[in-house]
Amino acid sequence: MKLRPDIALTFDDVLLVPRHSSIRSRQDIDLSSQLTREIQLHLPIISANMDTVTEASMAIAMAQHGGIGVLHRFMSLERQAEQVRKVKRAESLVVHNPLTISPDASVAQARQVMVDENVGGLVVVDESGRLAGMVTTRDVLLATDPLLPVRAVMTPRERLVVAGTNETLEAAREKLYQARVEKLPLITPAGTLTGLITAQDIVKIQEHPHATKDQLGRLRVGAALGVRSEDVERAAACIEAGADLLVVDIAHGDSDHTIQMVKRLKQSFPGTGVMAGNVATGDGVRELADAGADSIKVGVGAGSICITRIVTGFGVPQLTAIADCAEVSRKLDLPLVADGGMRTSGDVTKALAAGASTVMLGSMLAGTEEAPGAEIVRDGRRYKVVRGMASLSANVERRKLDNTVVEFTEEDWTEVVPEGVEAFVPYRGDVADILIQVAGGVRSGMSYAGARTIPVLWENAEFVRVTPAGTKESGSHDVNLI
Protein backbone atom coordinates (compact mmCIF):
# COMPACT_ATOMS: atom_id res chain seq x y z
CA MET A 1 0.00 0.00 0.00
CA LYS A 2 1.19 3.48 -0.81
CA LEU A 3 -0.38 6.74 0.33
CA ARG A 4 0.56 9.80 -1.69
CA PRO A 5 1.66 12.66 0.56
CA ASP A 6 0.13 15.41 -1.55
CA ILE A 7 -3.54 16.36 -1.49
CA ALA A 8 -5.42 15.89 -4.76
CA LEU A 9 -7.49 18.86 -5.84
CA THR A 10 -10.45 19.64 -8.02
CA PHE A 11 -11.91 22.81 -9.54
CA ASP A 12 -13.56 24.23 -6.40
CA ASP A 13 -10.40 23.67 -4.36
CA VAL A 14 -8.47 26.31 -6.30
CA LEU A 15 -8.59 29.72 -7.91
CA LEU A 16 -6.27 31.29 -10.46
CA VAL A 17 -4.20 34.23 -9.24
CA PRO A 18 -4.66 37.38 -11.35
CA ARG A 19 -1.46 38.71 -12.88
CA HIS A 20 -0.38 41.71 -14.91
CA SER A 21 -2.06 41.84 -18.30
CA SER A 22 -1.51 43.98 -21.35
CA ILE A 23 -4.56 42.57 -23.11
CA ARG A 24 -7.01 45.35 -23.93
CA SER A 25 -9.90 43.39 -25.36
CA ARG A 26 -11.16 39.84 -25.07
CA GLN A 27 -11.20 39.81 -28.87
CA ASP A 28 -7.36 39.86 -28.81
CA ILE A 29 -7.40 36.41 -27.25
CA ASP A 30 -6.90 33.40 -29.47
CA LEU A 31 -8.66 30.29 -28.18
CA SER A 32 -7.36 28.00 -30.89
CA SER A 33 -5.84 24.78 -29.65
CA GLN A 34 -4.75 21.33 -30.80
CA LEU A 35 -7.36 18.56 -30.75
CA THR A 36 -4.73 16.09 -31.94
CA ARG A 37 -1.28 16.73 -33.29
CA GLU A 38 -2.89 17.19 -36.74
CA ILE A 39 -6.22 18.89 -36.08
CA GLN A 40 -6.66 22.36 -34.63
CA LEU A 41 -9.85 23.82 -33.20
CA HIS A 42 -10.72 27.52 -33.00
CA LEU A 43 -12.78 26.77 -29.90
CA PRO A 44 -11.24 24.20 -27.54
CA ILE A 45 -14.54 22.50 -26.71
CA ILE A 46 -15.66 18.95 -27.55
CA SER A 47 -19.16 17.62 -26.94
CA ALA A 48 -19.04 14.33 -25.05
CA ASN A 49 -19.66 10.98 -26.72
CA MET A 50 -22.78 10.33 -24.63
CA ASP A 51 -26.15 9.29 -26.03
CA THR A 52 -27.83 12.27 -24.35
CA VAL A 53 -25.23 14.71 -25.70
CA THR A 54 -23.82 14.02 -29.17
CA GLU A 55 -25.53 12.82 -32.30
CA ALA A 56 -25.39 14.51 -35.71
CA SER A 57 -27.16 17.78 -34.91
CA MET A 58 -24.95 18.47 -31.88
CA ALA A 59 -21.83 17.52 -33.89
CA ILE A 60 -22.88 19.89 -36.71
CA ALA A 61 -23.44 22.81 -34.32
CA MET A 62 -20.19 22.14 -32.43
CA ALA A 63 -18.10 22.09 -35.62
CA GLN A 64 -19.89 25.15 -37.03
CA HIS A 65 -18.80 27.11 -33.94
CA GLY A 66 -15.19 25.97 -34.04
CA GLY A 67 -15.35 23.00 -31.66
CA ILE A 68 -16.12 19.38 -32.50
CA GLY A 69 -18.57 16.67 -31.49
CA VAL A 70 -17.81 13.02 -30.87
CA LEU A 71 -20.69 10.77 -31.91
CA HIS A 72 -21.46 8.22 -29.22
CA ARG A 73 -21.14 4.51 -29.96
CA PHE A 74 -24.32 3.18 -28.42
CA MET A 75 -25.99 2.59 -31.74
CA SER A 76 -25.48 0.17 -34.61
CA LEU A 77 -22.39 0.56 -36.75
CA GLU A 78 -24.60 1.46 -39.73
CA ARG A 79 -26.41 4.17 -37.80
CA GLN A 80 -23.19 5.66 -36.47
CA ALA A 81 -21.72 5.77 -40.01
CA GLU A 82 -24.94 7.40 -41.25
CA GLN A 83 -24.62 10.04 -38.51
CA VAL A 84 -21.06 10.73 -39.66
CA ARG A 85 -22.33 11.14 -43.23
CA LYS A 86 -25.02 13.54 -42.04
CA VAL A 87 -22.40 15.79 -40.44
CA LYS A 88 -20.14 15.62 -43.50
CA ARG A 89 -23.03 16.55 -45.78
CA ALA A 90 -24.18 19.46 -43.62
CA GLU A 91 -21.82 22.07 -44.99
CA SER A 92 -19.25 22.23 -47.75
CA LEU A 93 -18.37 24.63 -50.51
CA VAL A 94 -18.71 21.97 -53.17
CA VAL A 95 -21.35 19.24 -53.25
CA HIS A 96 -19.24 16.50 -54.78
CA ASN A 97 -22.06 14.11 -55.63
CA PRO A 98 -24.99 16.35 -56.52
CA LEU A 99 -28.31 14.71 -57.26
CA THR A 100 -28.68 14.26 -61.00
CA ILE A 101 -31.32 13.12 -63.45
CA SER A 102 -31.30 12.08 -67.09
CA PRO A 103 -32.78 14.45 -69.73
CA ASP A 104 -34.95 11.52 -70.83
CA ALA A 105 -36.52 10.99 -67.39
CA SER A 106 -40.09 12.23 -67.04
CA VAL A 107 -41.25 15.35 -65.23
CA ALA A 108 -43.11 13.05 -62.79
CA GLN A 109 -39.84 11.23 -61.98
CA ALA A 110 -37.99 14.50 -61.43
CA ARG A 111 -40.78 15.69 -59.12
CA GLN A 112 -40.58 12.46 -57.14
CA VAL A 113 -36.78 12.65 -56.67
CA MET A 114 -37.08 16.24 -55.46
CA VAL A 115 -39.75 15.25 -52.93
CA ASP A 116 -37.87 12.11 -51.76
CA GLU A 117 -34.55 13.91 -51.39
CA ASN A 118 -36.05 17.15 -50.14
CA VAL A 119 -34.21 19.33 -52.67
CA GLY A 120 -35.37 22.18 -54.87
CA GLY A 121 -33.43 21.24 -57.99
CA LEU A 122 -31.55 18.55 -59.89
CA VAL A 123 -28.63 18.72 -62.26
CA VAL A 124 -29.43 17.14 -65.61
CA VAL A 125 -26.62 15.03 -67.08
CA ASP A 126 -26.51 12.91 -70.24
CA GLU A 127 -25.46 9.26 -70.36
CA SER A 128 -21.77 10.16 -70.50
CA GLY A 129 -21.94 12.36 -67.41
CA ARG A 130 -21.91 15.68 -69.28
CA LEU A 131 -23.93 18.61 -68.00
CA ALA A 132 -27.13 18.99 -70.03
CA GLY A 133 -29.14 21.45 -67.91
CA MET A 134 -30.82 22.13 -64.57
CA VAL A 135 -34.36 21.39 -63.50
CA THR A 136 -36.00 23.00 -60.46
CA THR A 137 -39.32 22.68 -58.67
CA ARG A 138 -40.54 25.74 -60.59
CA ASP A 139 -40.01 23.81 -63.86
CA VAL A 140 -41.91 20.71 -62.81
CA LEU A 141 -44.48 21.78 -60.26
CA LEU A 142 -47.07 23.18 -62.62
CA ALA A 143 -46.09 21.27 -65.79
CA THR A 144 -49.37 20.03 -67.24
CA ASP A 145 -48.01 16.82 -68.74
CA PRO A 146 -46.14 14.66 -66.19
CA LEU A 147 -44.91 12.40 -68.96
CA LEU A 148 -42.97 15.18 -70.72
CA PRO A 149 -39.22 14.49 -70.73
CA VAL A 150 -37.06 16.61 -68.41
CA ARG A 151 -35.23 18.03 -71.47
CA ALA A 152 -38.45 19.82 -72.45
CA VAL A 153 -38.77 21.77 -69.19
CA MET A 154 -35.17 22.19 -67.97
CA THR A 155 -32.94 25.25 -68.32
CA PRO A 156 -30.50 24.02 -70.97
CA ARG A 157 -26.71 24.02 -70.59
CA GLU A 158 -26.27 27.13 -72.85
CA ARG A 159 -28.34 29.27 -70.47
CA LEU A 160 -26.60 28.09 -67.28
CA VAL A 161 -23.85 29.88 -65.38
CA VAL A 162 -21.09 27.31 -64.81
CA ALA A 163 -17.58 27.22 -63.38
CA GLY A 164 -14.46 25.10 -63.59
CA THR A 165 -13.59 22.42 -61.07
CA ASN A 166 -11.33 24.64 -58.92
CA GLU A 167 -13.69 27.56 -58.37
CA THR A 168 -12.90 29.65 -55.26
CA LEU A 169 -15.56 30.74 -52.80
CA GLU A 170 -15.20 34.41 -53.73
CA ALA A 171 -15.44 33.76 -57.49
CA ALA A 172 -18.42 31.46 -57.03
CA ARG A 173 -20.21 34.01 -54.85
CA GLU A 174 -19.65 36.71 -57.47
CA LYS A 175 -20.90 34.54 -60.35
CA LEU A 176 -24.03 33.48 -58.48
CA TYR A 177 -24.75 37.06 -57.44
CA GLN A 178 -24.21 38.55 -60.89
CA ALA A 179 -26.52 35.99 -62.52
CA ARG A 180 -28.98 36.09 -59.56
CA VAL A 181 -29.10 32.29 -59.47
CA GLU A 182 -28.67 29.84 -56.61
CA LYS A 183 -26.78 26.93 -58.14
CA LEU A 184 -23.44 26.78 -59.91
CA PRO A 185 -22.53 23.47 -61.60
CA LEU A 186 -18.79 22.74 -61.85
CA ILE A 187 -17.58 21.09 -65.03
CA THR A 188 -14.38 19.92 -66.69
CA PRO A 189 -13.33 21.49 -70.04
CA ALA A 190 -15.06 18.52 -71.71
CA GLY A 191 -18.30 19.43 -69.95
CA THR A 192 -18.38 16.58 -67.43
CA LEU A 193 -20.14 17.47 -64.18
CA THR A 194 -17.79 17.28 -61.14
CA GLY A 195 -19.74 19.12 -58.45
CA LEU A 196 -22.13 21.87 -57.50
CA ILE A 197 -21.84 25.05 -55.44
CA THR A 198 -25.03 26.45 -53.95
CA ALA A 199 -25.76 29.95 -52.66
CA GLN A 200 -27.10 28.37 -49.46
CA ASP A 201 -23.76 26.66 -48.78
CA ILE A 202 -21.87 29.91 -49.33
CA VAL A 203 -24.15 31.67 -46.83
CA LYS A 204 -23.53 28.91 -44.25
CA ILE A 205 -19.77 29.18 -44.73
CA GLN A 206 -19.86 32.95 -44.31
CA GLU A 207 -21.97 32.60 -41.17
CA HIS A 208 -19.38 30.32 -39.56
CA PRO A 209 -15.94 31.61 -40.49
CA HIS A 210 -14.25 29.65 -37.67
CA ALA A 211 -15.94 26.32 -38.32
CA THR A 212 -13.87 23.17 -37.89
CA LYS A 213 -13.44 21.85 -41.44
CA ASP A 214 -11.53 19.21 -43.36
CA GLN A 215 -9.58 19.79 -46.59
CA LEU A 216 -12.78 19.47 -48.63
CA GLY A 217 -14.50 22.18 -46.60
CA ARG A 218 -16.76 19.68 -44.80
CA LEU A 219 -17.39 19.90 -41.05
CA ARG A 220 -15.17 17.64 -38.97
CA VAL A 221 -16.58 15.00 -36.66
CA GLY A 222 -15.30 12.33 -34.27
CA ALA A 223 -16.68 8.83 -33.70
CA ALA A 224 -16.40 6.88 -30.45
CA LEU A 225 -15.46 3.19 -30.37
CA GLY A 226 -15.07 0.41 -27.85
CA VAL A 227 -12.24 -2.10 -27.73
CA ARG A 228 -13.83 -5.25 -29.16
CA SER A 229 -12.69 -6.67 -32.47
CA GLU A 230 -16.03 -5.59 -34.04
CA ASP A 231 -15.01 -2.05 -33.20
CA VAL A 232 -12.34 -2.17 -35.91
CA GLU A 233 -15.19 -2.69 -38.41
CA ARG A 234 -17.03 0.20 -36.77
CA ALA A 235 -13.92 2.36 -37.21
CA ALA A 236 -13.64 1.35 -40.87
CA ALA A 237 -17.31 2.21 -41.52
CA CYS A 238 -17.00 5.60 -39.79
CA ILE A 239 -13.80 6.47 -41.67
CA GLU A 240 -15.41 5.43 -44.94
CA ALA A 241 -18.28 7.79 -44.07
CA GLY A 242 -15.75 10.59 -43.48
CA ALA A 243 -14.95 10.57 -39.73
CA ASP A 244 -11.93 12.74 -38.91
CA LEU A 245 -11.18 11.32 -35.50
CA LEU A 246 -11.58 7.99 -33.70
CA VAL A 247 -12.12 8.13 -29.95
CA VAL A 248 -11.36 4.97 -27.99
CA ASP A 249 -13.83 5.40 -25.19
CA ILE A 250 -13.03 3.21 -22.17
CA ALA A 251 -13.62 4.07 -18.52
CA HIS A 252 -10.21 2.64 -17.51
CA GLY A 253 -8.03 3.59 -20.48
CA ASP A 254 -4.74 2.56 -18.87
CA SER A 255 -5.46 -1.08 -19.69
CA ASP A 256 -4.11 -3.77 -22.02
CA HIS A 257 -7.22 -3.90 -24.19
CA THR A 258 -7.24 -0.13 -24.76
CA ILE A 259 -3.53 -0.11 -25.62
CA GLN A 260 -4.01 -2.99 -28.07
CA MET A 261 -6.97 -1.27 -29.67
CA VAL A 262 -5.04 1.98 -30.14
CA LYS A 263 -2.18 0.03 -31.78
CA ARG A 264 -4.60 -1.81 -34.04
CA LEU A 265 -6.34 1.37 -35.12
CA LYS A 266 -3.05 3.14 -35.84
CA GLN A 267 -1.89 0.18 -37.94
CA SER A 268 -5.14 -0.20 -39.84
CA PHE A 269 -5.94 3.50 -40.31
CA PRO A 270 -2.65 5.40 -40.15
CA GLY A 271 -4.21 8.52 -41.68
CA THR A 272 -6.83 9.03 -38.98
CA GLY A 273 -6.21 10.59 -35.55
CA VAL A 274 -6.93 8.45 -32.50
CA MET A 275 -7.90 10.01 -29.18
CA ALA A 276 -7.67 7.52 -26.33
CA GLY A 277 -8.67 7.40 -22.68
CA ASN A 278 -9.67 7.82 -20.05
CA VAL A 279 -6.69 8.02 -17.74
CA ALA A 280 -5.89 9.96 -14.59
CA THR A 281 -2.11 9.51 -14.24
CA GLY A 282 1.11 10.37 -16.06
CA ASP A 283 1.80 6.62 -16.42
CA GLY A 284 -1.52 6.21 -18.22
CA VAL A 285 -0.59 9.00 -20.63
CA ARG A 286 2.78 7.37 -21.34
CA GLU A 287 1.20 3.96 -22.05
CA LEU A 288 -1.33 5.35 -24.52
CA ALA A 289 1.26 7.62 -26.12
CA ASP A 290 3.56 4.62 -26.63
CA ALA A 291 0.66 2.78 -28.28
CA GLY A 292 0.39 5.64 -30.80
CA ALA A 293 -2.49 7.79 -29.50
CA ASP A 294 -2.72 11.27 -31.05
CA SER A 295 -4.37 12.82 -28.01
CA ILE A 296 -5.27 11.62 -24.53
CA LYS A 297 -8.48 12.03 -22.59
CA VAL A 298 -8.19 12.63 -18.83
CA GLY A 299 -10.85 12.02 -16.22
CA VAL A 300 -11.83 9.07 -14.06
CA GLY A 301 -15.03 9.52 -12.14
CA ALA A 302 -15.16 13.32 -12.50
CA GLY A 303 -18.29 13.54 -14.65
CA SER A 304 -21.54 15.00 -13.35
CA ILE A 305 -23.36 11.71 -13.90
CA CYS A 306 -20.51 9.43 -12.74
CA ILE A 307 -20.59 7.34 -9.60
CA THR A 308 -17.43 5.35 -10.42
CA ARG A 309 -15.64 6.80 -7.41
CA ILE A 310 -18.50 5.80 -5.10
CA VAL A 311 -18.93 2.31 -6.57
CA THR A 312 -15.25 1.40 -7.00
CA GLY A 313 -13.33 3.74 -4.72
CA PHE A 314 -11.13 4.80 -7.67
CA GLY A 315 -10.47 8.16 -9.31
CA VAL A 316 -8.30 11.24 -9.00
CA PRO A 317 -9.82 14.69 -8.41
CA GLN A 318 -9.86 16.28 -11.81
CA LEU A 319 -7.54 19.26 -11.44
CA THR A 320 -4.73 17.10 -10.06
CA ALA A 321 -5.39 14.47 -12.73
CA ILE A 322 -5.05 17.09 -15.49
CA ALA A 323 -1.89 18.60 -13.96
CA ASP A 324 -0.24 15.18 -13.45
CA CYS A 325 -1.10 14.05 -16.98
CA ALA A 326 0.01 17.38 -18.48
CA GLU A 327 3.45 17.00 -16.97
CA VAL A 328 3.97 13.93 -19.15
CA SER A 329 1.96 14.95 -22.22
CA ARG A 330 3.75 18.31 -22.52
CA LYS A 331 7.11 16.55 -22.85
CA LEU A 332 5.63 14.34 -25.56
CA ASP A 333 3.95 17.29 -27.29
CA LEU A 334 0.68 15.40 -27.07
CA PRO A 335 -2.63 17.29 -26.66
CA LEU A 336 -4.63 16.51 -23.54
CA VAL A 337 -8.42 16.60 -23.27
CA ALA A 338 -9.91 17.39 -19.84
CA ASP A 339 -13.04 15.23 -19.75
CA GLY A 340 -15.77 15.70 -17.15
CA GLY A 341 -16.56 17.63 -14.02
CA MET A 342 -16.76 21.18 -15.43
CA ARG A 343 -19.90 23.16 -14.55
CA THR A 344 -18.94 26.74 -15.41
CA SER A 345 -16.71 28.70 -17.76
CA GLY A 346 -14.45 29.23 -14.74
CA ASP A 347 -13.97 25.46 -14.45
CA VAL A 348 -13.13 25.31 -18.16
CA THR A 349 -10.50 28.04 -17.71
CA LYS A 350 -9.02 26.14 -14.75
CA ALA A 351 -8.91 22.88 -16.75
CA LEU A 352 -7.09 24.62 -19.62
CA ALA A 353 -4.77 26.47 -17.23
CA ALA A 354 -3.87 23.15 -15.55
CA GLY A 355 -2.54 21.90 -18.89
CA ALA A 356 -5.43 20.68 -21.04
CA SER A 357 -5.49 21.66 -24.73
CA THR A 358 -9.23 21.12 -25.00
CA VAL A 359 -12.16 20.22 -22.75
CA MET A 360 -14.94 17.68 -23.20
CA LEU A 361 -18.34 18.71 -21.85
CA GLY A 362 -21.29 16.46 -21.09
CA SER A 363 -24.01 17.85 -18.86
CA MET A 364 -23.15 21.48 -19.65
CA LEU A 365 -24.40 20.77 -23.19
CA ALA A 366 -27.04 18.11 -22.47
CA GLY A 367 -29.86 20.59 -21.91
CA THR A 368 -29.53 22.19 -25.33
CA GLU A 369 -31.81 21.94 -28.32
CA GLU A 370 -29.20 20.00 -30.31
CA ALA A 371 -28.73 17.27 -27.67
CA PRO A 372 -30.62 14.05 -28.51
CA GLY A 373 -33.91 13.43 -26.76
CA ALA A 374 -37.08 15.41 -26.29
CA GLU A 375 -37.56 18.04 -23.64
CA ILE A 376 -39.71 17.29 -20.62
CA VAL A 377 -41.92 19.74 -18.77
CA ARG A 378 -42.13 19.38 -14.97
CA ASP A 379 -43.93 21.84 -12.74
CA GLY A 380 -43.97 24.28 -15.64
CA ARG A 381 -40.20 24.11 -16.18
CA ARG A 382 -38.44 22.62 -19.21
CA TYR A 383 -35.77 19.92 -18.83
CA LYS A 384 -33.82 17.36 -20.84
CA VAL A 385 -32.41 14.04 -19.68
CA VAL A 386 -28.71 13.31 -19.26
CA ARG A 387 -27.46 9.87 -18.35
CA GLY A 388 -24.14 8.22 -17.61
CA MET A 389 -23.10 5.73 -20.25
CA ALA A 390 -22.58 3.24 -17.41
CA SER A 391 -25.98 3.98 -15.84
CA LEU A 392 -28.54 1.22 -15.39
CA SER A 393 -30.74 2.22 -18.33
CA ALA A 394 -27.75 2.72 -20.67
CA ASN A 395 -26.45 -0.72 -19.67
CA VAL A 396 -29.81 -2.33 -20.38
CA GLU A 397 -30.07 -0.69 -23.80
CA ARG A 398 -26.52 -1.65 -24.68
CA ARG A 399 -27.17 -5.30 -23.89
CA LYS A 400 -30.27 -5.23 -26.05
CA LEU A 401 -28.31 -3.59 -28.88
CA ASP A 402 -25.61 -6.27 -28.57
CA ASN A 403 -28.36 -8.93 -28.65
CA THR A 404 -26.88 -10.43 -25.51
CA VAL A 405 -30.28 -10.10 -23.84
CA VAL A 406 -33.67 -9.90 -25.50
CA GLU A 407 -35.90 -9.78 -22.43
CA PHE A 408 -34.41 -8.64 -19.17
CA THR A 409 -34.88 -11.08 -16.28
CA GLU A 410 -34.56 -10.23 -12.60
CA GLU A 411 -31.15 -11.93 -12.63
CA ASP A 412 -29.96 -9.67 -15.45
CA TRP A 413 -31.03 -6.60 -13.52
CA THR A 414 -29.12 -7.65 -10.41
CA GLU A 415 -26.02 -8.43 -12.50
CA VAL A 416 -25.71 -4.83 -13.68
CA VAL A 417 -23.52 -2.67 -11.43
CA PRO A 418 -24.15 0.88 -12.63
CA GLU A 419 -21.35 3.41 -12.46
CA GLY A 420 -23.47 6.28 -13.68
CA VAL A 421 -26.84 7.90 -13.01
CA GLU A 422 -29.71 9.41 -14.99
CA ALA A 423 -30.75 12.98 -14.32
CA PHE A 424 -32.64 16.03 -15.54
CA VAL A 425 -30.87 19.19 -16.61
CA PRO A 426 -32.67 22.48 -17.33
CA TYR A 427 -33.47 23.08 -20.99
CA ARG A 428 -30.96 25.66 -22.20
CA GLY A 429 -31.88 26.56 -25.80
CA ASP A 430 -29.36 26.58 -28.63
CA VAL A 431 -25.92 25.19 -27.97
CA ALA A 432 -24.45 28.24 -29.77
CA ASP A 433 -25.59 30.44 -26.86
CA ILE A 434 -23.85 28.20 -24.32
CA LEU A 435 -20.67 28.16 -26.41
CA ILE A 436 -20.68 31.97 -26.63
CA GLN A 437 -20.99 32.21 -22.84
CA VAL A 438 -18.27 29.64 -22.15
CA ALA A 439 -15.87 31.09 -24.73
CA GLY A 440 -16.52 34.62 -23.38
CA GLY A 441 -15.81 33.48 -19.81
CA VAL A 442 -12.59 31.70 -20.83
CA ARG A 443 -11.44 34.72 -22.85
CA SER A 444 -12.05 36.94 -19.85
CA GLY A 445 -10.19 34.44 -17.63
CA MET A 446 -7.23 34.42 -19.99
CA SER A 447 -7.04 38.20 -19.83
CA TYR A 448 -6.69 37.92 -16.01
CA ALA A 449 -3.75 35.61 -16.69
CA GLY A 450 -2.22 38.01 -19.24
CA ALA A 451 -2.40 35.17 -21.77
CA ARG A 452 -3.30 35.70 -25.42
CA THR A 453 -3.05 32.00 -26.21
CA ILE A 454 -3.62 28.73 -24.42
CA PRO A 455 0.10 27.76 -24.36
CA VAL A 456 0.83 31.12 -22.65
CA LEU A 457 -1.98 30.38 -20.19
CA TRP A 458 -0.16 27.13 -19.26
CA GLU A 459 2.99 29.13 -18.55
CA ASN A 460 1.31 31.97 -16.67
CA ALA A 461 -1.18 30.00 -14.58
CA GLU A 462 -0.71 30.12 -10.85
CA PHE A 463 -3.28 28.40 -8.66
CA VAL A 464 -4.02 29.08 -4.99
CA ARG A 465 -5.86 26.65 -2.80
CA VAL A 466 -9.00 27.99 -1.21
CA THR A 467 -10.78 27.16 2.03
CA PRO A 468 -14.54 26.52 2.24
CA ALA A 469 -14.82 30.18 3.35
CA GLY A 470 -12.98 31.22 0.16
CA THR A 471 -15.32 29.12 -1.96
CA LYS A 472 -18.32 30.72 -0.23
CA GLU A 473 -16.88 34.15 -0.93
CA SER A 474 -16.53 33.26 -4.64
CA GLY A 475 -20.26 32.98 -5.25
CA SER A 476 -22.75 35.79 -4.72
CA HIS A 477 -23.34 36.02 -0.97
CA ASP A 478 -25.14 38.00 1.71
CA VAL A 479 -27.67 39.32 -0.77
CA ASN A 480 -31.14 38.12 -1.74
CA LEU A 481 -30.98 37.18 -5.40
CA ILE A 482 -33.74 38.57 -7.57
Q: State the catalytic residues.
A: 306
| Residue nearer to ligand XMP on the CB measure, 294 or 339 | 339
Asked if 395 touches ligand XMP (CB under 6 A), the answer is: no
Q: Which of 48, 132, 193, 246 binds ligand XMP (CB under 6 A)?
A: 48
User: Smallest distance, Å, CB 410 to ligand XMP?
Assistant: 22
Q: Which of 29, 389, 439, 454 binds ligand XMP (CB under 6 A)?
A: 389
Asked if 101 touches ligand XMP (CB under 6 A), the answer is: no
| Residue nearer to ligand XMP on the CB measure, 133 or 317 | 317
Asked if 388 touches ligand XMP (CB under 6 A), the answer is: yes
- Tell me what percent of the chain is helix, strand and coil, each rounded to the nearest 5: 40, 20, 40
* SS3 label, residue 34: strand
Touching ligand XMP, residues 183-222 (CB under 6 A): none
Q: Which of 14, 29, 50, 124 binds ligand XMP (CB under 6 A)?
A: 50
* Distance of alpha carbon 114 from alpha carbon 305, whole angstroms: 44
Q: Which of 84, 150, 305, 451 binds ligand XMP (CB under 6 A)?
A: 305
User: Smallest distance, Å, CB 95 to ligand XMP?
Assistant: 33
CA dihedral 410, 414, 418, 424 (to 10 degrees): 40
Asked if 352 touches ligand XMP (CB under 6 A), the answer is: no
User: Smallest distance, Å, CB 86 to ligand XMP?
Assistant: 22
What Rg do the C-alpha atoms of the chain give, in angstroms?
Answer: 26
Backbone dihedral angles phi then psi of residue 203, each to the nearest 5 degrees: -60, -45
Q: Which of 317, 340, 346, 445 binds ligand XMP (CB under 6 A)?
A: 340
* Distance of alpha carbon 252 from alpha carbon 278, whole angstroms: 6
Binding mask 260-289 for ligand XMP (x = CB under 6 A): ------------------x-----------
| Residue nearer to ligand XMP on the CB measure, 14 or 135 | 14
Helix or strand (DSSP H, E) at 361? strand 358-361
Asked if 337 touches ligand XMP (CB under 6 A), the answer is: no
Q: Which of 132, 202, 221, 390 binds ligand XMP (CB under 6 A)?
A: 390
DSSP states of 400-415 as a string? HHTTS-SS--HHHHHH
* Distance of alpha carbon 184 from alpha carbon 171, whole angstroms: 11
Measure CA of the first residue to CA of the last residue in the chain; give whole Å. 52
Chain centroid to Cα 28, Å, comes to 25
* Distance of alpha carbon 279 from alpha carbon 300, whole angstroms: 6
Asked if 299 touches ligand XMP (CB under 6 A), the answer is: yes
Q: Which of 306, 322, 348, 434 binds ligand XMP (CB under 6 A)?
A: 306
| Residue nearer to ligand XMP on the CB measure, 98 or 317 | 317
Q: How far is CA 283 from CA 229, 311, 322, 438, in A?
A: 25, 23, 13, 31
Touching ligand XMP, residues 419-458 (CB under 6 A): 419-420
Chain centroid to Cα 160, Å, comes to 38
Helices 318-332 & 345-353 angle (0-180, nearest 10): 40
Of 84-92, 384-392, 407-415, 438-446: span binding ligand XMP (CB under 6 A): 384-392
Counting residues that bind ligand XMP (by CB under 6 A) gives 26
Asked if 81 touches ligand XMP (CB under 6 A), the answer is: no
Chain centroid to Cα 300, Å, comes to 21
* Distance of alpha carbon 211 from alpha carbon 328, whole angstroms: 30
Q: What is the DSSP letter of 27?
A: G
Q: Is the peptide bond before 278 cis (omega within 30 degrees of 0)?
A: yes
Asked if 363 touches ligand XMP (CB under 6 A), the answer is: yes
Asked if 339 touches ligand XMP (CB under 6 A), the answer is: yes
| Residue nearer to ligand XMP on the CB measure, 46 or 124 | 46
Of 19-27, 177-185, 389-397, 429-437: span binding ligand XMP (CB under 6 A): 389-397
Q: Which of 361, 451, 454, 461 binds ligand XMP (CB under 6 A)?
A: 361
Position of minimal CB gap to ligand XMP: 420
User: Smallest distance, Å, CB 217 to ligand XMP?
Assistant: 29
β-pairing verdict for 245-249 and 273-279: parallel
Q: What are the strands of the beta sheet with 155-156, ordered from one edge?
A: 100-101, 121-125, 131-136, 155-156
- Interface residues with ligand XMP (CB under 6 A) are 48, 50, 251, 278, 299, 301, 303-306, 308, 339-342, 360-364, 388-391, 419-420
